[in-house]
């Protein structure tokens, strides 16, 4: 594995991000507007004697952005190169698949880190909500778990894009939102109807959101929930890499990878 080549992909991600209004809107603008809207909703809920629900929404929103931004960065990052007909150029350089994926993961983490700080500061100043109130250890564990989960989702979507081409590119933006209700990002799992309640516990973020909400109440670290989430994440991550490897090879077998750029 070459650090130079990983650096090259991260550098390209940085250049594309700073030059693309669409990315700035998709990531920074969307995140800021969302936190402001949800912050105002939380203010309203606080006024209706439901302060805990208000905090649930804000903590859910801030943590949800970790999933959205990291996954977006991995999946859509490849699309920018496919749309520019540049992906082949990169893969005929001595770039390995693992270097490429690792670089997009790191780039996603950098973007997520910047936006997380930004929206946390906004939440703190405008809505008097401190994300650290879920507990520092809880927050770190939540970030680790959500990041790994979003890597898995990002890699799976990337695999599907490489295999089926641009015709399913909408998944890069849309698929992740399927997990928003299923993982009970903004409300307790108990709110979900029974079949979905059971299904929710199949996804690692469910445990994270539950642990974060519990942290708001008792300020303790929910090691058990975070541990289950982490264990599930390992399985998801390994499966996503195997799936990616299979789909990438399939794509090269049928000639789709070279055709992705039209």
The site for other proteins (CB under 8 A) is made up of: 2, 4-5, 7-9, 11-12, 15-16, 19-20, 80-81, 83-86, 88-96, 249, 252-255, 257-258, 261
Q: Which is nearer to other proteins, 36 or 95 (CB)?
A: 95
Write down the least CB distance from residue 252 to other proteins, Å: 4
Q: Give min distance, CB of 242 to other proteins, in A.
A: 18
Give CA 219 to chain center in angstroms: 25
CB of 250 to other proteins, least distance (A): 9
The CB-of-75 to other proteins minimum distance in angstroms stands at: 17
Contact yes or no for 61/33 (Cβ under 8 A): no
**Helix, coil or strand: residue 92:** coil
CB of 115 to other proteins, least distance (A): 20
End-to-end CA separation in angstroms for the chain: 30
- Residue in this structure with the two tokens 């930004």, named with its chain if needed: 118
Nearer to other proteins, 90 or 182 (CB): 90
Rounded to 5 degrees, φ, ψ at 96 are -90, 160
Q: Which residue, 77 or 215, has its beta carbon nearer to other proteins? A: 77
**Under a CB-based contact definition with an 8 Å cutoff, are residues 91 and 5 in contact?**
no
Token pair listed for 75: 């999946």
**Looking up tokens 């790191």, which residue turns up?**
106
Which pair of structure tokens corresponds to residue 223?
Answer: 């090691």
Is 94 or 193 the residue whose CB approaches other proteins more closely?
Answer: 94
Residue 84 or 224: the one with the smaller Cβ distance to other proteins is 84
Q: Toward other proteins, which CB reaches closer, 14 or 196?
A: 14
Q: How far is the CB of 249 from other proteins (least distance, A)?
A: 7
Query: Closest approach of Cβ 244 to other proteins, in Å?
Result: 16
Pick from 194, 150, 188: which is nearest to 172 by CA? 150
User: Residue 83 or 164: which CB sits closer to other proteins?
Assistant: 83
Contacts for 213 with CB less than 8 Å, ≥ 6 apart: 56, 59, 60, 188
Residue 185's SS3 state is coil
Phi/psi for 201 (5° steps) reads -75, 0
CA 151 – CA 169 distance, rounded (Å)? 17
The Cβ of residue 61 has, within 10 Å, a number of other Cβ atoms equal to 22
């Amino acid at each position: 594995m070459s650090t130079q080549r990983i650096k090259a992909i991260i550098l390209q991600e940085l250049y594309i991000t700073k030059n693309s209004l669409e990315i700035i809107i998709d990531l920074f603008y969307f995140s800021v507007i969302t936190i402001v809207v949800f912050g105002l909703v939380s203010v309203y809920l606080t006024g209706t004697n439901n302060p805990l629900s208000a905090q649930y929404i804000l903590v859910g929103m801030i943590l949800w952005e970790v999933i959205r931004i990291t996954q977006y960065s991995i999946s859509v990052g490849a699309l920018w190169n496919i749309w520019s007909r540049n992906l082949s150029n990169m893969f005929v350089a001595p770039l390995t698949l693992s270097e490429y994926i690792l670089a997009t993961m790191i780039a996603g983490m950098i973007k997520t880190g910047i936006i997380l700080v930004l929206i946390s500061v906004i939440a703190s100043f405008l809505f008097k909500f401190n994300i650290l109130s879920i507990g520092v250890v809880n927050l770190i564990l939540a970030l680790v778990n959500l990041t790994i989960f979003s890597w898995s989702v990002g890699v799976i979507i990337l695999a599907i894009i490489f295999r089926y081409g641009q015709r399913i590119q909408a998944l890069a933006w849309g698929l992740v939102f399927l997990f928003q209700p299923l993982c009970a990002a903004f409300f307790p799992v108990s709110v979900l109807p029974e079949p979905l309640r059971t299904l929710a516990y199949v996804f690692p973020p469910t445990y994270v959101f539950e642990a974060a909400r519990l942290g708001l109440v008792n300020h303790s670290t929910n090691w058990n929930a975070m541990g289950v989430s982490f264990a599930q994440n390992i399985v998801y991550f390994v499966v996503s890499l195997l799936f990616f490897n299979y789909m990438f090879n399939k794509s090269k077998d049928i000639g789709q990878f070279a055709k992705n750029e039209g």
